[in-house]
Amino acid sequence: MSTPIPTSAELEGEHTLVLRWSDGRTLWYALDDLRANCPCAPCNPEPGAPHAPRAAFDGIRLNSLDEVGTYALSLKFSDGHSTGIYTYERLLACGHPPGAVPPPDMPANFEV
Ligand SMILES: [Zn+2]
């Protein structure tokens, strides 16, 4: 079975991204959560090191969002950070269904 792809992306308010997926799911993402768990190399200097706390990115917004090939999204945040490539697998794993209470933080060893 192939990985679902996003069929639409929209912002709910200023701080929540909502992605609809080709398998019918709708998943929500807190932007501070996505930013704190940015997968790029500069944000992850050491394997397994704790990520920055979400609180460090309180109030962060999304400037733009671009598809990367057919497997990932590139997110550009309001703090100027734009090097994170969020694979669909990762996004599918960390999204919250509508109405779910987001966990306070993803575990530091979150990997997809
Ligand atoms: Zn990063």
| Dist. CA 103 → ligand 1 center (Å) | 21
Cα(104) to centroid(ligand 1), Å: 20
Domain boundaries, the chain: 6-94
Q: Which residue has the tokens 């100027």?
A: 80
Interstrand relation of 6-12 and 16-21 (parallel, antiparallel or unpaired): antiparallel
pTM here is 0.83
The structure tokens listed for 39 are 């997968």
Q: Which residue type is seen at 21?
A: W
* CB-based burial, 24-34: b 16+ in 10 Å, e otherwise: eeebbbbbbbb
Reported as a single tens digit per residue, the pLDDT across 3-56 is 999 999 999 999 999 999 999 999 999 999 999 999 999 998 888 888 888 999
Q: Are 22 and 80 in contact (CB under 8 A)?
A: no
- Going from the Cα of 106 to the center of ligand 1, the distance in angstroms, rounded, reads 16
Assign domain 6-94 to a CATH class.
alpha beta
Please state the rounded mean pLDDT for residues 65-82.
96
Determine the Cα–Cα distance for residues 35 and 37; give it in Å rounded to an integer: 5
Give the per-residue pLDDT at 112. Answer: 44
